[in-house]
Amino acid sequence: MKLIIDGREVSAYPGETILEVCRRENIFIPTLCYHPAFKGQGVCRMCMVELEDENGNRRMVASCTYPVQEGLKIVTFSAKIDKVRKNIIRLLASRAKGSDYIQDLAGQYGVEPLDLPGLDNEKCILCRLCVNACKLMGSSVLAAVWRGIDKKISTPYEEAAEECIGCAACYEVCPTGAIEMKEENGQRIIWNKVFNLVLCQHCGKAYATEEQIALVERKTGISLPALCEACRSQNLAGRLKNFSG
C-alpha cells in the first residue's frame, strides 16, 4: 500500500505501524518506550505524529501503535508535535532527575525540569520495556508496584525473586539506565540476587547465568553446549563449511 509521509510517497505492508515504516525509510521519530523486539506500547507518547485528512484537518496519534492504511497522510514534525514532545520531556525530566540520558534529552530540547521533591535519584520513566523483556526472555517477575509518585517497577515485595534467572534482558532494554547490575568475580548481581556466571568453553567469556541456561534447557528439552553466542555461530559455520566442503 502507499502512504504519504512528510509529502513523500512511500510503500508499506499491511500490519505495519507508522513507526516501523518511518524507521525503514530513515525518517527520524524519537521514541522511549519502543523496542523493535516488542509491539509498540503507546506509553511515553514521544513518537506522536500528525495524521491529515482530505480537508487538511490534523490529529495526533502515537506512531508506534498506529497501523498503516492505504493513502494515510502523515506529518512527522510540526510546531505542534515539537511542543507536545517538549512537554513530555519536561515531565519525564522532572521525574527522572537521576537519569543522565533523560537530562541530556531535556538539554537537547531546551527544556527545564520542574522542581518535584523526593525524586533526586530517580532514573525510571515507567516505560515498562523491562517488564516486557522479563516476560519474553525471563520468568515474568517484574511488574509495576505502588501508586502515584511512589509507582515503580519491582520484583514481588521488592525482594530477590526465586523465579528471577538473572538474564539481564531488563537491563539491556532499559532506555534510561534505571536498572542496576554488577558483574564481578564470576558473579552477576541484579534485583538483589546473586547469580553464578557460566564461562564459554571456547573463549572463556562469561555469557549466561546458571539459572538462564537451566530455563532454556527446561523449555527446549535440549542440553546446550557451553559456548557463547559468537563461538556457537563460529562453531556452526565451521561445521557447515566442513559439511559442504
- The residue whose grid cell reads 573463549 is 203
Cell of 238: 565451521
Residue 45 engages ligand FES in binding (rule: CB under 6 A): yes
Find the binder of ligand FES among 18, 22, 46, 124 (CB under 6 A). Answer: 46
Binding track over 96-135 against ligand FES, x by CB under 6 A = ----------------------------------------
Identify which of residues 64 and 141 has a Cβ nearer to ligand FES in the complex: 64
Q: Which of 27, 44, 68, 88 binds ligand FES (CB under 6 A)?
A: 44
Cell of 49: 505524529
Nine-digit cell at 228?
Answer: 557463547
In the complex, the smallest distance separating the C-beta of residue 122 from ligand FES, rounded to whole angstroms, is 18
- Please state whether beta strands 73-75 and 2-5 pair in parallel, antiparallel, or not at all (unpaired): parallel
Question: Stretches 29-37, 87-95, 137-145, 168-176: which one binds ligand FES (CB under 6 A)?
Answer: 29-37
Beta-strand ranges (E) seen in the chain are: 2-5, 8-11, 48-52, 58-62, 73-75, 143-145, 152-154, 181-184, 187-190, 193-199, 206-209
Determine which residue in the list 12, 18, 31, 193 makes contact with ligand FES, applying CB under 6 A: 31
Q: Is 207 helix (H, G, I), strand (E, B) or coil?
A: strand
Cell 538473572, residue? 166
- Residues near ligand FES (CB under 6 A) are 31-34, 40, 42-47, 62, 64
